[in-house]
C-alpha cells in the first residue's frame, strides 16, 4: 500500500465531492471511508485509476449516508442521479481546501488539525499521536472544525496570510510519534507554492527549509538542546540550505517584502556563516529592523535585542531589552545570556534559574537549568 499516494490524492478527491455539492463535513467522512476501503482492497486488486476509484467509492458512501439521513431529505434532488463513470476530474481543488481549513472562525489548533486531515491526508489517529493527545480528543476537535465550516462557499480568493499562519503553526509543532509535522508542513507548503505565485509563500517555504536544515544538530545524543552557537555545522543539511537560499533570493527579487521573507533572510545569514564567530550580526539586526517595521511584534523586538547584543556588545543588547516588557516569553533567558556575555555571572546564573521555571517545555527547562548550574560551578557555589 502506497500511503504517500493516498495522502497526495486525498485533497483532490475531497475537492471533487465538495464541488459536486456535498457538504464539507459529510464529504470528508466519505473520503475517509474510501481511504479505509482502499487500504483493504488495493493490495490484492490495485485500480488502474487510483483517483477515479477513490472518487467513485467516496461519492457512493456520501450518497448512502445522505439517503440514510432522514434529516437531510432536502438533498433528495442531489442524490437522484449519480454522475456517469469516467476519469476523475483534472481540476485541482487543493488550494480551495487550504482556504477552507484556514477559515477565520476556526481556532488555530482546529485549523491546523483540519488542514492535516483534509489537505495532508493524515488520519485522526496520526494527528492525535503527533499532538500527544487521545484520539477521541482529536476526533472531537476535528468534528467541531468540520461543523464550523459546513456549508461555507468561496466566491472570492481566500486570505493567503491566514493559510500561511496555519502552515507555520504546523511546522512549529515539530514532530513526535509516527508523523513528522515539520516535514509535513514543508510538504504542504510546497503544494501551496506550486499553486500560488506569492513571494510570502516562497518566503515561508524558504524559512522552513532553512530551519529544518539545522534539525540534526539541535539536540545532543542524550536529547539535550544544543544552542545555535554550539551546533556542529557539519551536520546541517547543505542541500536544504541551498534550496532555501535560492527560493528566498527569487522571492526577494520581486521587491514585495513580507515577514516570512525577512525571517528567512535572518535564517539564511545564520546558515551562511561557517562558524558562530563569522555570523554577520550587523545584517541580522538590519533584517530584524525590517521585521519590526512589518510586524511591530514584541517577540521580534526581543530577538532583535539579542542580535544587537551580538553586533554592538552585551550592554547595547541589555539596553534594548530594558525597553521591553519583562513578561515576554524568554525575556528572562535573553537577559541571562546577555548578562553572562557582559561578565556578570552571578546575575546570569540567577536569571537562568528563574528562566528555567518559566520554560514552556522540559527540554528548554533542562537546558536553562544546566546553564545556571554551569555558572554556579564557576562561581564556586
**What pLDDT was estimated at residue 81?**
47
Residue-wise pLDDT tens digits, 123-156: 888 888 777 788 999 999 999 888 888 776 655 5
Q: Is residue 89 scored above 50 in pLDDT?
A: no
pLDDT band at 209 (very low <50, low <70, confident <90, very high): very high
Q: What percent of the chain has pLDDT over 90?
A: 55
Q: Give yes or no for a contact between 352 and 336, defined as CB atoms under 8 angstroms apart.
A: yes
Reported as type and span, the H/E element at residue 255 is none
**What pLDDT was estimated at residue 315?**
98
Q: Is residue 177 scored above 70 in pLDDT?
A: no
Q: Give yes or no for a contact between 369 and 356, defined as CB atoms under 8 angstroms apart.
A: yes
pLDDT band at 75 (very low <50, low <70, confident <90, very high): very low
If one compares 368 and 162, the residue with the highest pLDDT of the two is 368
C-alpha cell at 40: 483493504
pTM for the model stands at 0.78
- Pairs from 163-168 (Cβ < 8 Å, separation ≥ 24): 163/98, 163/99, 163/102, 163/192, 164/200, 164/201, 164/204, 164/260, 165/102, 165/108, 166/101, 166/102, 166/108, 166/111, 166/112, 166/115, 167/115, 167/192, 167/204, 168/204, 168/260
Q: Is residue 215 scored above 50 in pLDDT?
A: yes
Q: Give yes or no for a contact between 154 and 99, defined as CB atoms under 8 angstroms apart.
A: yes
Which one-letter DSSP state was computed for residue 235? G
**What pLDDT was estimated at residue 91?**
44
Spell out the residues 6+ positions from residue 95 whose beta carbon is closer than 8 angstroms to its own.
192, 195, 196
Measured CA distances, 44 to 4, 9, 52, 130, 289 (Å): 18, 20, 18, 30, 59
DSSP string of 105-174? TS-HHHHHHHHHHHTT---HHHHHHHHTS-HHHHHHHHHHHHHHHTT---SS---HHHHHHHHHHHHHT-
pLDDT band at 210 (very low <50, low <70, confident <90, very high): very high
**What pLDDT was estimated at residue 175?**
54
**What pLDDT was estimated at residue 154?**
56
**What pLDDT was estimated at residue 90?**
45
Reported as type and span, the H/E element at residue 180 is strand 179-180
Least confident among 124-138, 156-170, 201-215: 156-170
d(CA 361, CA 376): 23
Amino acid at each position: 500500500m502506497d500511503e504517500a499516494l493516498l495522502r497526495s490524492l486525498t485533497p483532490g478527491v475531497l475537492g471533487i465531492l465538495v464541488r459536486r455539492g456535498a457538504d464539507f463535513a459529510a464529504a470528508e467522512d466519505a473520503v475517509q471511508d474510501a481511504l479505509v476501503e482502499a487500504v483493504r482492497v488495493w493490495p490484492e486488486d490495485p485500480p488502474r485509476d487510483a483517483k477515479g476509484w477513490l472518487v467513485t467509492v467516496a461519492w457512493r458512501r456520501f450518497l448512502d449516508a445522505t439517503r440514510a439521513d432522514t434529516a437531510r431529505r432536502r438533498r433528495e434532488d442531489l442524490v437522484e442521479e449519480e454522475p456517469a463513470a469516467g476519469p476523475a476530474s483534472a481540476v485541482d481543488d487543493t488550494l480551495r481546501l487550504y482556504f477552507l481549513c484556514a477559515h477565520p472562525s476556526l481556532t488555530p489548533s482546529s485549523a491546523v488539525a483540519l488542514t492535516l486531515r483534509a489537505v495532508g491526508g493524515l488520519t485522526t489517529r496520526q494527528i492525535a499521536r503527533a499532538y500527544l493527545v487521545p484520539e477521541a480528543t482529536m476526533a472531537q476537535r476535528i468534528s467541531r472544525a468540520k461543523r464550523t465550516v459546513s456549508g461555507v462557499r468561496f466566491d472570492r480568493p481566500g486570505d493567503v496570510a491566514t493559510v500561511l499562519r496555519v502552515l507555520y503553526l504546523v511546522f512549529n509543532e515539530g514532530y513526535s510519534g509516527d508523523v513528522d509535522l515539520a516535514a509535513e508542513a514543508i510538504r504542504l507548503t510546497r503544494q501551496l507554492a506550486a499553486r500560488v505565485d506569492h513571494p510570502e509563500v516562497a518566503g515561508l517555504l524558504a524559512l522552513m527549509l532553512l530551519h529544518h536544515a539545522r534539525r540534526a544538530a539541535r539536540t545532543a545524543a542524550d536529547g539535550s538542546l544544543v544552542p545555535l552557537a554550539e551546533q556542529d555545522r557539519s551536520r546541517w543539511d547543505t542541500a536544504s540550505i541551498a534550496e532555501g537560499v535560492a527560493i528566498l533570493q527569487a522571492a526577494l527579487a520581486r521587491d514585495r517584502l513580507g515577514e516570512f521573507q525577512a525571517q528567512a533572510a535572518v535564517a539564511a545569514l545564520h546558515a551562511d556563516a561557517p562558524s558562530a564567530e563569522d555570523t554577520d550580526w550587523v545584517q541580522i539586526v538590519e533584517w530584524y529592523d525590517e521585521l519590526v517595521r512589518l510586524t511591530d511584534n514584541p517577540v521580534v523586538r526581543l530577538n532583535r535585542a539579542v542580535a544587537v547584543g551580538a553586533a554592538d556588545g552585551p550592554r547595547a543588547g541589555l539596553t534594548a531589552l530594558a525597553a521591553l516588557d519583562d513578561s515576554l516569553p524568554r525575556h528572562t533567558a535573553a537577559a541571562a545570556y546577555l548578562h553572562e556575555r557582559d561578565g556578570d555571572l552571578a546575575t546570569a546564573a540567577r536569571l537562568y534559574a528563574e528562566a528555567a521555571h518559566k520554560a514552556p517545555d522540559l527540554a528548554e527547562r533542562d537546558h536553562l537549568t544546566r546553564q545556571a548550574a554551569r555558572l554556579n560551578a564557576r562561581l564556586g557555589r
